[in-house]
């Protein structure tokens, strides 16, 4: 636990303040304020990423600190996309998610600058990591959208719209983590000599991918008859994503070739 | 017969298989990369992978027959990746032995000419001969510009790049030069050549020398794996586009859902 006194830290804390303000405005039902604070949070989150890029001189995706900064900057556009495509308002859930993402970036991870080692100097670096950033965000949002499906006695209309929204969100996330996995595999061949190294992080990513593959097969098999089971699959997937980002990155139990964070 | 086919490759079975594969991946994550690779190279693991590929091909073929192309591409793409991997794994048993070893490394200092591959922690086990020879012209290390932090800590800045300039001589061809850098392997006669690592040691006269380690890998299944990746990706793209064509349901019609 530490507080950052740099410009970088200031931008992160300002973003968090805007996210909290969004939640407060939402509790007070001030629609204009919600929109304003939520958009302002996006602007500060983007400035935090840009400043990090300028300050370090490389794309800000090298370690967990930079990865989490990028995730927070992806939230607002994705939230707008859902409201446009699915007609549901996910601002509150996304603001909570944003706070959960920024908390470790603001208070846990260090911000010291490391220059890129030779292994990370590749044109596949940004696409590989960026598709995982966006993909994980989409998967987390899908799990949050599926929350009503876990409720007992949820009205069928709400159930249907939650199911449709979470499924359309998860398919984008699934597409993105597939891109991340395939690009990672190609990069592995170019950098390490083989497209699959049985590295612990690779195995956890494959396990996550399999959970969502199972979700789609289950949806096709049972349709809307077992909405709770579908939601449980989404939450197991989210659990794996969270574990991949935290435990697997930081524990020595899973040390391997992905240890840049 | 038809029933058995649909039970073995149907959606219910697919859910189970996905869950089992997910659990197996996590189990392999716990044993570590090296051990996991060894486990997956054993005959039972290869056999189970072949079974998985068979199921994927059956299902992919069935959906292709039914003109559900997105599903066929996803399943056949996965099958190509598994079969491509199996091709690489089983190559030592199926090869006639005239194409050279699959994997090995060479440690060299400037001026060395070599064509034998080695393996092991100290590169002491001979694995075979390359169909071409490699001469190391020069090994070069570049550092980042020294920053104020580096200077106050009194240390060298981190390494920016290391590369080996080599001259390749294929039988019956003019020799040519290649640069081998991390993230930029060279491709010669079916082999990818990687800049693996480097180190410092002493030669037989006791003088310090810097050596480079180059790794040579030949994978006969690689193209099939890449083809599988492409097919899988296009399949998932078609699948997600299809999902988005389904409009968000209006709240109106309720029944038709039976529990």
CA distance B180 to A190: 11
* Average pLDDT of the segment spanning A43-63: 89
Q: What is the pLDDT of residues A124-181, one digit of tens each?
A: 888 898 899 889 999 999 999 999 888 888 888 888 888 988 998 999 999 999 999 9
Considering the domain architecture, whether residues B139 and B84 belong to the same structural domain is answered as no
Cβ contact B221:B84 at 8 Å: yes
Considering the domain architecture, whether residues B43 and B64 belong to the same structural domain is answered as yes
Considering the domain architecture, whether residues B161 and B85 belong to the same structural domain is answered as no
Strand-pair category, B191-202 with B176-181? unpaired
* Average pLDDT of the segment spanning A66-89: 87
Considering the domain architecture, whether residues B107 and B213 belong to the same structural domain is answered as yes
Q: What is the pLDDT of residues A172-209, one digit of tens each?
A: 999 999 999 999 999 999 988 899 999 888 999 999 99
CB proximity under 8 Å: A 59-98 to B = 85-87
What angle, rounded to 10 degrees, do the helices at A64-85 and A125-145 form?
50
Considering the domain architecture, whether residues B203 and B118 belong to the same structural domain is answered as yes
CA distance A185 to A127: 12
Q: Is B209 within a domain? A: yes
What is the distance in angstroms between the Cα of B203 and the nearest Cα belonging to chain A? 27
Which pLDDT does position B157 carry in this prediction?
82
Considering the domain architecture, whether residues B197 and B239 belong to the same structural domain is answered as no
CA distance A90 to A30: 16
**pLDDT mean across residues, chain B:** 87
Q: Is B54 within a domain? A: yes
CB contact under 8 A, A171 and B243: yes
Considering the domain architecture, whether residues B61 and B89 belong to the same structural domain is answered as yes
Q: Is B252 within a domain? A: no
Which pLDDT does position A52 carry in this prediction?
92
Asked if B194 has any chain A CB less than 8 Å from its own CB, the reply is: yes
Asked if A260 has any chain B CB less than 8 Å from its own CB, the reply is: no
Q: Across chain A, where does the E strand assignment appear?
A: none
ipTM for the predicted complex comes to 0.86
Considering the domain architecture, whether residues B123 and B193 belong to the same structural domain is answered as yes
Considering the domain architecture, whether residues B38 and B142 belong to the same structural domain is answered as no
CA distance B223 to B226: 5
In DSSP terms, A235 is beta-bridged to none
Asked if B97 has any chain A CB less than 8 Å from its own CB, the reply is: no
Considering the domain architecture, whether residues B152 and B238 belong to the same structural domain is answered as no
Q: Is B227 within a domain? A: no
Which residues in chain B have their CB less than 8 angstroms from residue A198's CB? 28, 33-34, 36-37, 40
Which pLDDT does position A57 carry in this prediction?
84
CB contact under 8 A, A197 and B37: yes
Which pLDDT does position B251 carry in this prediction?
47
Considering the domain architecture, whether residues B128 and B48 belong to the same structural domain is answered as no
Which whole-number Å values give the CA distances from A102 to A4, A160, B22, in the listed order?
A: 13, 32, 29
Which pLDDT does position A1 carry in this prediction?
67
Which pLDDT does position B246 carry in this prediction?
61
Q: Is B257 within a domain? A: no
Q: Is B254 within a domain? A: no
pLDDT above 60: residue A261: no
CA distance A90 to A252: 37
Q: Which residue of A has its CA nearest to B20?
A: A210
3-class SS at B8?
helix
How many other β-carbons are positioned within 10 Å of the β-carbon of residue A228? 13
In DSSP terms, B113 is beta-bridged to B135
Which pLDDT does position A260 carry in this prediction?
58
Q: Mean pLDDT in runs of 10 for chain B (259 residues)?
A: 78 93 94 90 95 94 92 96 94 72 89 88 87 91 82 81 91 90 90 90 84 91 95 94 68 48
Q: What is the pLDDT of residues A208-233, one digit of tens each?
A: 999 999 999 999 998 888 889 999 99
User: b/e map of A79-107 (b: 16 or more CB within 10 Å)?
Assistant: bbebeeebebebbbbbbebbbebbeebbe
CB proximity under 8 Å: A 122-141 to B = 122
Q: In what order do the strands lie in the sheet with B208-217?
A: B176-181, B159-169, B125-143, B113-119, B103-108, B208-217, B191-202, B186-188
Considering the domain architecture, whether residues B124 and B51 belong to the same structural domain is answered as no
Q: Is B251 within a domain? A: no
Domain count, chain B: 2
B161: enclosing H helix or E strand: strand B159-169
B51: domain range? 2-95+232-245
CB contact under 8 A, B32 and A256: yes
Q: Is B21 within a domain? A: yes
């Amino acid at each position: 636990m530490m507080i950052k006194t740099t410009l970088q830290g200031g931008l992160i804390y300002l973003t968090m303040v805007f996210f909290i303000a969004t939640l407060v405005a939402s509790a007070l039902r001030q629609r204009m304020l919600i929109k304003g604070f939520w958009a302002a949070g996006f602007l500060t989150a983007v400035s935090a990423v840009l400043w990090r890029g300028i300050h370090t001189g490389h794309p800000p995706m090298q370690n967990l600190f930079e990865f989490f900064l990028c995730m927070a900057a992806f939230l607002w556009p994705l939230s707008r996309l859902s409201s446009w495509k699915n007609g549901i308002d996910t601002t509150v859930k996304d603001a909570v998610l944003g706070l959960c993402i920024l908390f470790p970036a603001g208070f846990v991870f260090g911000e010291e600058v490391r220059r890129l080692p030779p292994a990370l100097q590749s044109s596949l670096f940004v696409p590989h990591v960026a598709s995982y950033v966006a993909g994980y965000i989409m998967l987390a949002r899908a799990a949050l959208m599926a929350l009503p499906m876990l409720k007992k006695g949820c009205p069928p209309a709400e159930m249907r719209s939650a199911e449709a929204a979470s499924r359309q969100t998860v398919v984008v996330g699934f597409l993105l983590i597939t891109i991340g996995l395939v690009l990672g595999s190609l990069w592995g061949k170019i950098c390490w000599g083989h497209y699959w190294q049985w590295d612990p992080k690779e195995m956890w990513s494959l396990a996550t991918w399999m959970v969502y593959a199972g979700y789609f097969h289950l949806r096709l098999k049972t349709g809307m008859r077992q909405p709770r089971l579908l939601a449980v699959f989404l939450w197991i997937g989210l659990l794996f994503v969270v574990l991949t980002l935290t435990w697997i990155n930081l524990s020595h139990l899973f040390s391997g070739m992905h240890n840049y964070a | 017969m038809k029933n058995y086919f649909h039970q073995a490759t149907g959606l219910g079975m697919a859910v189970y298989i996905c869950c089992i594969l997910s659990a197996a991946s996590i189990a392999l994550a716990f044993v570590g990369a090296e051990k996991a690779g060894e486990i997956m190279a054993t005959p039972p693991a290869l056999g189970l992978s072949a079974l998985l590929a068979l199921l994927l091909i059956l299902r992919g073929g069935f959906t292709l027959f039914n003109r559900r192309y997105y599903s066929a591409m996803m399943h056949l793409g996965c099958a190509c990746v598994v079969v491509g991997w199996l091709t690489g794994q089983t190559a030592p048993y199926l090869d006639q032995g005239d194409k050279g070893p699959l994997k090995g490394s060479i440690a060299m200092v400037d001026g060395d000419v070599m064509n034998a591959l080695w393996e092991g922690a100290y590169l002491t086990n001979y694995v075979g001969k390359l169909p071409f020879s490699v001469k190391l012209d020069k090994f070069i290390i570049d550092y980042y510009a020294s920053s104020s932090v580096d200077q106050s800590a009194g240390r060298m800045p981190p390494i920016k790049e290391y590369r080996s300039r080599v001259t390749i001589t294929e039988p019956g061809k003019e020799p040519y030069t290649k640069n081998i850098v991390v993230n930029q392997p060279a491709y010669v006669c079916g082999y990818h050549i990687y800049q693996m690592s480097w180190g410092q040691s002493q030669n037989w006269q006791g003088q310090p020398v810097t050596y480079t380690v180059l790794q040579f890998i030949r994978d006969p299944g690689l193209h099939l794996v890449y083809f599988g990746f492409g097919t899988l990706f296009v399949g998932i793209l078609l699948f997600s586009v299809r999902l988005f064509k389904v409009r968000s349901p209006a709240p109106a019609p309720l029944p038709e859902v039976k529990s």
